[in-house]
Amino acid sequence: MGKILTVLLIELLILIVSVFALKIESTVGFLLLLVSIVFAIYYGAKNEKIRYRLQDAFSSSRRFALILGIILIFIFPLFFMDSPYWVFVITIGVIYIILAIGLNMMLGSLDLVNLGFAAFFGIGAYTVGMITAKYGLHLPYLIVLLLAGIVAMIFGLLLCLPTMGMKGYYFSLTTIAFGLAVELTINNLEWTGGPGGIKNIPHISLFGLNLGDSYTVFGYDLPFQLNYFYFALVIMLLVMLVAWLIHNSRIGLSWNAIKEDDIAARAQGINIKVYRIYAFAIGSFIAGVAGAIFAPLMGYIAPTNFTYAHSITMVAMVILGGIDNIMGIALGAFLLSIAPEKFRAFSDYRMLIYALIIILMVIYRPQGLIPKKIRKYDFIGGAKDE
Amino acid sequence: MPFFKADHLVMRFGGLVAVNDFNLELQPGDLVGLIGPNGAGKTTVFNMITGVYRPTSGRIYFQDKDITGKRPDIITALGIARTFQNIRLFTDLSLIENVMVSYHVRLKSNIFEAVFKLPRYMRQENAMYEEAMELLHKVELDHLAEEKAGSLPYGEQRRLEIARALATHPKLLLLDEPAAGMNPNETLQLMDFIKQIRDEFDLTILLIEHDMKVVMGICERIWVLDYGKTIAVGTPSEIQNNPEVIKAYLGEEEYA
């Protein structure tokens, strides 16, 4: 019972602190909060007794912790009903979590540093924009979502095949070129709207509901962004579940083996080409799906949404959060998509502080906020890592 | 047709002839040594057999099949496994995972069954896990099953690498300097272990080794390479007294 209470209190504390952190307007106050969070985590991690008690509490009531966590995430945006802008920012954060999990299939599992991942995001978003706004086709949204994923996947395979034998910076360099090529193409083609992008992308309508409407619940007028938040959240949870299942299956294991030593992996009978194709296909499909949520949420997309800088940010999210750990990646993606908003007060120094955080992280905690864990095998039931 | 045959293998890297006209025949159950000074081309022979290099010329036959230039993973699936001179474990994975990776060759389930943990996949996974544990038990590492492979001391890493190779169910096992870095006591244990696994798993073993105690102690026949050429073939006692071999190892005697 005490353990469940510990989990409950910790998760509530995290919720309250994060709501407070987003709401606080004074810059000094925010910085003070940030410093005290870092201090608290540092002290907690150093103190054996506290760390052991927390680990014990979370590992013995794993299911409760997970369900409570999901419930609290569903409640989270309700604290921002007065400012739809924050709901919007959080929704973008959720979309970036989806992207970072897709990227991790290459970057984290296989050590392929893809610096053009935003291209797949853009291809997904443009697929939706072209179908719904430019050609005005009235397909069911879920079909459009699937198409966005498939088109991104086709481009993923197009990038995968010629880079098959590449590793390290040769691979990264090629992906930079790929990302730029996609960005420049949609920027210069008249067919895709050029630099002006695609305007008036209609809102998602799903099972007779229009996500662009604001609904009234118990007399409260809810901002339409909230609909998008919940939709993105459901997709995010699905993507997380699939990514977790893959990570703990023989595919995740083979990916990791190839990452560690591809020559030894081949000598154990692993066909590395097939596993690379899996990573590209699944990763870019997920990015396309993220784009399919992004386009109707924005209503307007342009090449500037899918640049090299966006690709770099996605890589930073995975590295900051923790390579190959889904919870870590989610945390990293969320922090890095919220952080620029919080540092707006510093105006000119915003990107500087942002960069400083990343440099400090890489120096002092290169394994990420929540590092990768060793899979546990407690048969029957397969591998578990969370 | 013999069980395994390397027929006039040549490997050139640019102007360097690493292996020149290498011939080898193995019968099932053989335990054969491949020796020679550093740079003689021993590991290159292994790399050609396992598909890492495609020979410049010559053919390799294994169980009546021509396997010359096939992909390494296909050759492994056909029944040839190897260990590496400079130990290539998956250091960040646990011991049990290192061994389980090798079972994937034989799994019949597809990707969807694997991801969604459908019954057939889970049955195979369970059988695989139990077999992997048994192998770890055989190399006396089962108590460390969930430790990272990189945290093991050197001698135990060598044993784990052999267990990992055995997990692919090989018929021919290539061991590249299995005794390197071991102390005399560990070396003795290793010699027993190699003979034991040959009998238990019906293996044919080809091994490269610098430790003459190991080679002379367990090998039934020995091939000696020098500068890419086979300079002698024979039983341990024949090799020990062969003047060509002595010359290759110690240099030519000079008469003043």
Residues A343, B22: Cα–Cα separation, whole Å: 68
Q: Which of B3, B7, B36 is nearest to B210 (CA)?
A: B36
Helix-strand-coil split of chain A, %, nearest 5? 75, 5, 25
Confidence at residue A385, expressed as pLDDT on a 0 to 100 scale: 46
pLDDT interval class at B76 (50, 70, 90): very high
pLDDT interval class at A53 (50, 70, 90): confident
Q: Which distant-in-sequence residues (6+ apart) come within 8 Å of A344 by Cβ? A: A350
Q: Which of B1, B102, B4 is nearest to B48 (CA)?
A: B4
pLDDT tens digit string along A214-264?
777 776 777 888 889 999 999 999 999 999 999 988 889 999 999 999 999
| Cβ-Cβ contacts under 8 Å, B77 against chain A | 269
Would the pLDDT of B255 be above 70?
Answer: no
pLDDT tens digit string along B2-42?
899 988 899 999 888 888 888 888 999 899 999 888 888 88
CB contact under 8 A, B107 and A250: yes
| Helix boundaries (H) for B69-177 | 72-78, 95-101, 111-115, 119-138, 154-166
SS3 letters for B9-42?
A: EEEEECCEEEEEEEEEEECCCCEEEEECCCCCCH
The structure's pTM equals: 0.89
Distances (CA, A) of B17 to B24, B35, B108, B210, B244: 18, 18, 42, 22, 20
Complex-level ipTM beyond the 0.90 threshold: no
| Cβ-Cβ contacts under 8 Å, B122 against chain A | 380, 382
Residues A120, A152: Cα–Cα separation, whole Å: 5
Nearest CA in chain A to B123: A380
What average pLDDT does this structure show over B130-157?
A: 89
Phi-psi region of A54 (alpha: psi -120 to 50; beta: other; left: phi over 0): alpha
pLDDT tens digit string along A195-210?
888 888 888 888 877 7
Domain spans of chain B?
A: 4-83+153-255
Nearest CA in chain B to A259: B90
- For residue A219, the distance in angstroms to the closest alpha carbon of chain B comes to 42
Out of A256, A269, A376, closest to residue B90 by CB = A256
Element (H, E) at B6: strand B4-13
Would the pLDDT of A336 be above 80?
Answer: yes
- For residue B116, the distance in angstroms to the closest alpha carbon of chain A comes to 7
Confidence at residue A24, expressed as pLDDT on a 0 to 100 scale: 78
Q: For chain A, say whether B214 makes contact (Cβ under 8 Å).
A: no
Give backbone dihedrals phi and psi of A231, rounded to 5 degrees, phi first.
Answer: -65, -50
Residues A67, A71: Cα–Cα separation, whole Å: 6
Q: Which of A95-99, A302-306, A357-361 has the highest mean pLDDT?
A: A95-99
Would the pLDDT of A80 be above 90?
Answer: no
Q: Count of A–B CB contacts within 8 Å?
A: 107
Residues B73, A302: Cα–Cα separation, whole Å: 45
Give backbone dihedrals phi and psi of B82, rounded to 5 degrees, phi first.
Answer: -145, 165
Confidence at residue B253, expressed as pLDDT on a 0 to 100 scale: 60
DSSP bridge partners of B11: B19
Q: Which CATH architecture has domain B4-83+153-255?
A: 3-Layer(aba) Sandwich (3.40)
- For residue B224, the distance in angstroms to the closest alpha carbon of chain A comes to 25
Alpha-carbon dihedral B54, B57, B61, B65, rounded to 10 degrees: 70
Alpha-carbon dihedral A152, A158, A160, A163, rounded to 10 degrees: -140
Residue A369 carries which DSSP code? S
pLDDT tens digit string along A143-168?
999 999 999 999 999 999 999 888 88
Out of A266, A268, A374, closest to residue B164 by CB = A268
Q: Which of B100, B31, B28 is nearest to B62 (CA)?
A: B28
- β-strand pairing of B204-208 with B172-176: parallel
Confidence at residue A386, expressed as pLDDT on a 0 to 100 scale: 41
Would the pLDDT of A130 be above 80?
Answer: yes
pLDDT interval class at A381 (50, 70, 90): very low
pLDDT tens digit string along B102-119?
887 777 667 777 778 788
